[in-house]
């Protein structure tokens, strides 16, 4: 170790090290993550069905509070669940497509419900959604879905994208 390496190591901010054992939280999260997978697809479709049914009969209160995401905060839900449910409501099909839909969103051209559904399904598949939280926008209950490079705001009742905030903080409304 030369003098510069020693200086850098001595300037290291306080934190744990990689040789520490897994915490109780980490163990719980692993169990929840791997254990719940077997039922995940069923849960996704069940959630989508409940939301659609609740909207159809006009009883918003039937929409369940999001199940606590064990590996994140209690107000959050797996973002892929949100995207999947929204895309289903908009009529997405799992056919192949590209990111062109995102361009259309930004350009405001041809951004039909079908295009939105394609976009949501695409984001779900490529895994760029990091987090989803409940919120309100213009008086409507929405999901705020944080992406690798921005944030999508999706109305819970319709599944429609109402706002996209890009990485620079600019707002785009279809």
Partner 1 sequence: MVGRRRARADEFRAFYRAHYSVILTVAEQRLDGRQAAEDAAADVFQIAWRRFSDEGAALSLPWVYQILRNVVGTEYRRRERARRALDKLADDPADPQESDARVDVRDALGRLPERERELLFMAYWEDLTHDEIAAILGISTGALRVRLTRARSRLRDALQPATTGEHDGRH
Which residues contact partner 1 by CB under 8 A?
2, 4-5, 7-13, 15-23, 25-26, 29-30, 33-34, 37-38, 69, 71-73, 78, 80, 125, 127-128, 130-131, 146-148, 151, 167
Minimum CB distance to partner 1, residue 26 (Å)? 5
Between 38 and 139, whose beta carbon lies closer to partner 1? 38
Minimum CB distance to partner 1, residue 103 (Å)? 21
Token pair 């054992």 in the structure block, residue: 21
Name the token pair of 150: 């921005």
Between 80 and 158, whose beta carbon lies closer to partner 1? 80
Between 37 and 95, whose beta carbon lies closer to partner 1? 37
Q: In terms of Cα–Cα distance, which of 24, 136, 28, 142 is closest to 77?
A: 142
Minimum CB distance to partner 1, residue 48 (Å)? 16
- State how far the Cα of 94 lies from the Cα of 57, in Å rounded to an integer: 27
């Amino acid at each position: 170790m030369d003098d510069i390496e020693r200086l850098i190591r001595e300037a290291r901010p306080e934190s744990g090290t990689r040789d520490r054992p897994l915490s109780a939280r980490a163990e719980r999260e692993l169990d929840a993550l791997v254990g719940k997978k077997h039922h995940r697809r069923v849960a996704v479709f069940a959630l989508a069905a409940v939301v659609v049914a609740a909207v159809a009969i006009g009883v918003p209160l039937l929409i369940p509070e999001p199940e606590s995401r064990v590996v994140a905060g209690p107000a959050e839900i797996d973002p892929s669940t949100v995207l999947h449910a929204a895309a289903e409501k908009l009529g997405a099909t799992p056919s192949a497509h590209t990111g062109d839909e995102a361009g259309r969103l930004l350009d405001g051209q041809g951004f039909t419900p079908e295009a939105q559904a394609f976009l949501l399904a695409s984001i779900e598949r490529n895994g760029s959604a990091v987090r989803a939280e409940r919120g309100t926008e213009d008086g409507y209950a929405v999901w705020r879905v944080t992406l690798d490079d921005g944030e999508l705001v999706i109305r819970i009742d319709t599944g429609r994208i109402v706002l996209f905030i890009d990485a620079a903080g600019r707002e785009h409304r279809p």
